[in-house]
Every structure is written in structure tokens, then in C-alpha cells.
Amino acid sequence: MGAVPVYRWRLAPDGLATRRQLRALGLRPGGQDVAAQVERPRRRRGPLVAYLYRVDLAKPVRPMTPAKRAALAKANAARRTCPECRRDAGYVIPVSLGTCATCAFPEEQRAA
């Protein structure tokens, strides 16, 4: 990949889009190289960079297969299951706690 053009924030030409913009259109980059990048300046740090892809070379998003849907449901269920009490917490267990709120703060549950 050679040098890519760099544009300032909101000044990229038409026909280029970020991954999120492509996804909103039902497209994916489809193996193409980065066509350009856009930079958004920040005060105390380096600029935010977003890579742009050509919309005309983008391919349609692959459809969700039943196996893929099942695997995704299983992975999301695992993120909601507390490793301590083995119950579905109803929300994604925070990595910072490592367990559901009931197991992480049992003294607060007794007081309630």
C-alpha cells in the first residue's frame, strides 16, 4: 500500500466512505485497499484518523447464516452468564467486576 491521500475532517470527496458508512449502506470493503484517510484534529493529542474506502468497489454484506446466528447467540449468552452463580444476569457482565452485581456486592443485596 503506497501513500494515501489525507483529507481534513468532513472534506473528503464523494465516493469514499468509512467502514461504518459502508455498513449503513449494506456494503463492506471487500478486500480493497484503503483509498484515503480523513483526520480530525484534537487539542492535546494526535488527530483522530478514519480510513476511507471506495464505494464503487465495495461488495454487499454477506447474509447471516443460521450457524453464524446460533454462534453469536451462544457467545452473547456466555457474556451474560455469571461465572460465580451460573445465572443469566440479563446484562453483559462487566470485565471490571468479573461477576454479576449480586455476587460482586452481596452485602448490599442483604441490606435491601
pLDDT band at 54 (very low <50, low <70, confident <90, very high): very high
| 3-state SS assignment for residue 55 | coil
Q: How confident is the model at residue 111 (pLDDT cuts 50, 70, 90)?
A: low
* Cβ pair 19, 61 in contact under 8 A: no
Rama region for 96: left / alpha / beta (φ>0; ψ in -120 to 50; rest):
alpha
According to DSSP, residue 7 is labeled E
Mean pLDDT across the chain, nearest whole number? 92
* Model confidence at 112: pLDDT above 60: no
pTM, two decimals, is 0.67
The answer to whether the CB of 28 falls within 8 A of the CB of 59 is yes
- Average pLDDT of span 57-84: 96
Identify the pLDDT of residue 109: 65
